[in-house]
Amino acid sequence: MVDHGRVVGNAARAVIVSNRRITGLSADVIAELVAEVGPLWHERHQAKLTSRPRKRAVGAGAKHRLVFVDRLLATLVHLRHGVTHDVLACWFGVDRSTITRAIGEVRPLLAERGCTISPGVRLRTLAEVIGHLGASGQTGIIDGTEIRVRRPAPRRSRDPSGPRQHRPE
């Protein structure tokens, strides 16, 4: 069950922004994105509101539970890690549909700025990435953040020939 009374606080937001492994971007780059994309998002949001007839008084109705900075951070985490909308909804304390709408609003703004992911292209190795960039004539920024992975020790069986099977005689 989603706790709708809680939204990401300033401390949690600071952790997300300061830890480069989460978004893949430095705090300065995120601040630039907020300064550049934020006004565009606000402008489009206001245009959408004014394009339809008003049903409530000014200031009435639901308030944004996810401010623009959180919308941007959720989109960046989704693009970097492929995190599902359900997980992001739990993390940000909102409903899944709010995350879906936020990503749908912010991703086109990032694409206009030049931050895109090619649809249908799945590159698994560095050689594939370099080959794709060379063939398409594009340049790319590669995140070289080291992520340590703990691997379990190899399992050893008692019988080196494998498990025993019942053989009928």
pLDDT digits (tens, 9 = 90+) for 97-142: 999 999 999 999 988 887 766 666 777 777 887 888 888 887 777 7
Give pTM, 2 decimals. 0.62
pLDDT digits (tens, 9 = 90+) for 58-90: 777 777 778 899 999 999 888 888 888 998 888
pLDDT digits (tens, 9 = 90+) for 48-62: 888 888 788 877 777
CB 40 within 8 A of CB 109: yes
156 CA to centre of own chain: 39
Of 152, 154, 153, 133, the closest CA to residue 142 belongs to 133
Return d(Cα 77, Cα 17) in angstroms, integer: 11
pLDDT digits (tens, 9 = 90+) for 12-64: 777 788 787 888 788 888 888 899 999 999 998 888 888 888 788 877 777 77
Tokens 């492994």, residue?
21
Q: Hey, what are 59's tokens?
A: 């200031």
Query: C-alpha angle 93/99/102, rounded to 5°?
Result: 125
